[in-house]
Each structure stands twice: as C-alpha cells, then as structure tokens.
Amino acid sequence: MADDDPKGDARERARPRASEEAENTIAPYRRRAPARDGAAPPESPPERARAQRGAPSAPKAGSGQPESDPWTVPASVRDRFRQDGNRFYFPDGEPAFRDHGRRLTTRSESTALIASLIEIAHVRGWEEIRVSGTERFRQEAWSQARLAGLAVRGYRPSAAERANLARTRDREEQAAQEGPRPAAAAGVAGVAEPAPSRSRDELIVGTLLDHGRAPYQFDRHREMSYFVRVKTQEGNRTIWGKDLGRALEETLTRPKMGDEVGLRAVGADAVTVKHRERDGDGQLLKETDLATHRNRWVIEKPAFFESRAQAAQVLRDTAIAPQVAVRSHPELAGSYLNLHAAEIASRRIRDPADQKKFVSLVRGALADAIARGEPLTPVRLRERRAERAHGEREPPARA
C-alpha cells in the first residue's frame, strides 16, 4: 500500500472550494499512461469521464454491456440518504457527503456512511482508490474497500490490521463454501451470530468507534439490523445484532465514542424469521419461515464486568454470610433471595446430599449469570413480604 502523497494533498488543497480542505475524500486513483514524444496531451472532459470507468463496470470489448456513468449512485445508497443536487443528507437532516463525480467527500467517520461511499466507488468501476482525511476515516475506508476487492492508496495498514482482514476473508470464503447459514440466507441481521454457547464465553473488549442501524453486513438486500464497531488489539471488529441497539440504550455505565467497552452475548431468544432466497441480481425468488435464535447482548465499560466478576465470586463463597455479602454488594440481594427460594424448594428432596447438590447447582448458575453481566434479579416488595410470611426475615447463612 502506498503512503499519502504530500504533493498530491497539497494540490488538492490548492483547488477551489477551500471550505472542503478538511474533508475526508475517496477518489479514483488513475495511473498516467506513458507519454509519447516526451509529452502527454491534456485530457478532454469526455476523456476524464471515461477514465473513471474502469473494470468491472467498464465494458469489455465485445461484451455489449453499457458503460458505467461517472455520476452513478446505486439505489441502495439513495434509499439511505436524502439527496439535494450533489449533496446527500442523513434522514435527520445532517450533512452526509457530497458527490463531485470524480471524488466523494464527507466530514463524517460513520462506518455505515463509509460503506455507502465504497459501494458508490465499486459501481463506478474505481478499481483503485485514493483516500485522504482523518486516520479513522482512512483506516475504515481501507478495510471496507479491500473487502470489496478495491486497491487502496493513502493508508498504510498495520500488521494486525492486515491479519484481521485476512481472517475476515477466510471466514467469508469458508461461509461461501459451506453455503448460506440460516441468518444470512434469511437476510436477518444478527439473528444467529454467533452460536450462543461460544459467544457467552467471549467478552469482546475494544474502543468504541461507531454504532448504528444499517442493513446487515451493509448489504442492501439484507434486513435492517444494528452494528457496533470496536477497535480491539487484533484490529477493528464489527459486531452485528438487532439487540445491540437496546443494549446501548439500557447500558448502566453509559459509554461514549472513544471509550473502552466490553460486549458479550448473554443469551438467545427463539424467533421465527423469513427465509428469503434471491437470485444473482438480488431479486426475491421465494420466502419461507425459519426457526432460529436472536442473541441478547450486554454492552458496558470493562469496570462493570470486573465488578460483576467480584460479586459472582462472593456469591460462590459459601463461607460468606448473605447479610455480610449484601452489605458489600447490595446488588446481590435479589440473587440471595433466589438462592433462599432454592433452599426452601430443596426440602422436598429426601436425600440430604441431593438437597445440597441442588442448592449448589442453583448457586453456581446464579454466579455464572452474574459474572457474564446478565441483568440482576430485582428485589420486589412482594418477595420481602413472602419472606416474612415464612417467618424468616433474613436468608440463612449457608447452603
């Protein structure tokens, strides 16, 4: 990959429209043909337009396919934004990007927006692009362009970013060889990614870069979902799941852009979705019902998960009296009430050893849920009254 060209950037800033000098830019990179007789004739406007039409959009000899219009904007992008001339706006009216024909400019670093710009570049046949602007914009544009098969100049990726890109490609190739998974085939974003047994053990930690609603995998043929983009030690990672939006709204630690966060799938709900089969052009062929699952997510700052791990360890320790534990960890009050309910239920078991085993299993399950970051059981007034009805104001010290 080539580094930024300081001279090229200076020429760009020297052009008119000085207000755009700080904007992020994606433009086609054109290799100049060798000059004949020591000089190259200047390009006429039609020649400049034709220069933008590279393969795959440009026609091949004898192909009979129409040439790509240098002002082409795919319908999927038009559907995501409001257009006024060459200016495009987000649905809430905020400026998104400008289309200059030969280049696309924006002041945004949104992952979904960058995906749209790469989509435009692809349909216009820009096989090699030059990116300029902020580090975050160039990094994200490089990643998405390389996945789309475009060569990129203007950003030099790190070894970790290259490795992450290779892993992403390997996953996509493996998925293509194995055939569509239920969620992908149905076009339902984040319905079955990844398997619950695996994801519950994985805490994804990284810097929060971006999040928002978008078509799954930024594919206009997929249904709307929610994505969270984080920068991990292994590179940027995009997590998809319809429940991620709710998880961010209900987060207790209120992380902001640039904060370190942890994400974990803590459960899965059974759902029935529409399985949509499409042809190569994206046209719907048939639609059937599909039984699958949808992950439930927790998104908090890392300190939240550390605190929960400590609380879970306290609950597991049978030597710590519930009264003492709740004084240091008030959030455990509901969990100890559940544990006490399990102790009462265990009295129906005849074998004392089986009673202890039952309570131990309940204790372990409660502690595991707390450690994962799942919502804690609230203490309700009705439950406290039930405790008094049994003549036990406080839960017993030991199980």
- pLDDT value at residue 297: 92
Beta bridge partners of 284: 278
pTM, to two decimals = 0.49
Write phi, then psi, for 183 (nearest 5 degrees).
-65, -40
- The type of residue at 370 is I
Instruction: Average pLDDT across each block of 10 residues of the chain; the chain has 399 residues. List them in order.
Output: 43 39 83 52 38 37 44 83 89 88 91 90 91 92 89 91 78 53 38 42 86 81 84 85 91 92 86 67 70 85 92 92 91 90 92 91 90 78 50 44
Q: Which amino acid is at 254?
A: R
Evaluate whether 258 touches 117 at the Cβ level (below 8 Å): no
Strand partners, 152: 129
- How far, in Å, CA of 336 to CA of 66, rounded? 70
Give the whole-angstrom CA distance, residue 13 versus residue 5. Answer: 12
Provide the pLDDT for residue 263.
93
Residue 289, pLDDT score: 73
102 burial via Cβ count (<10 Å: 0-12, 13-18, 19+): middle
Adjacency order of strands within the sheet including 24-28: 82-84, 87-89, 95-99, 104-106, 24-28, 128-132, 151-153
Locus of tokens 């790469």:
118
* C-alpha angle 86-91-95 in degrees, rounded to nearest 5: 45
Query: CA 165 to CA 173: how far, in whole Å?
Result: 12
Q: What is the 3-state secondary structure (H, E, C) of the chain?
A: CECCCHHHHHHHHHCCCHHHCCCEEEEECCCCCCCECCECCCCCHHHHHHHCCCCCCCCCCCCCCCCCCCCCCCHHHHHHCEEECCEEECCCCCEEEEECCCCEEECCCCHHHHHHHHHHHHHCCCCEEEEECCHHHHHHHHHHHHHCCCEEECCCCCHHHHHHHHHHHHHHHHHHHHCCCHHHHHCCCCCCCCCHHHHCCCCEEEEEEEEEEEEHHHCCCCCEEEEEEEEECCEEEEEECCCHHHHHHCCCCCCCCCCEEEEEEEEEEEEEEEEEEECCCCCEEEEEEEEEEEEEEEEECHHHHHHHHHHHHHHHCCCCCHHHHHHHCHHHHHHHHHHHHHHHHHCCCCCHHHHHHHHHHHHHHHHHHHHHCCCCCCCCHHHHHHHHHCCCCCCCCCC
| Nearest of 364, 355, 395 to residue 379 by alpha carbon | 395
> Torsions phi, psi of 104, nearest 5?
-120, 130
Q: In the structure encoding, which two tokens stand for residue 74, read together?
A: 């795919």
Domain boundaries, the chain: 6-33+41-157, 180-298, 305-389
**C-alpha–C-alpha distance, residues 394 and 336, integer Å:** 10
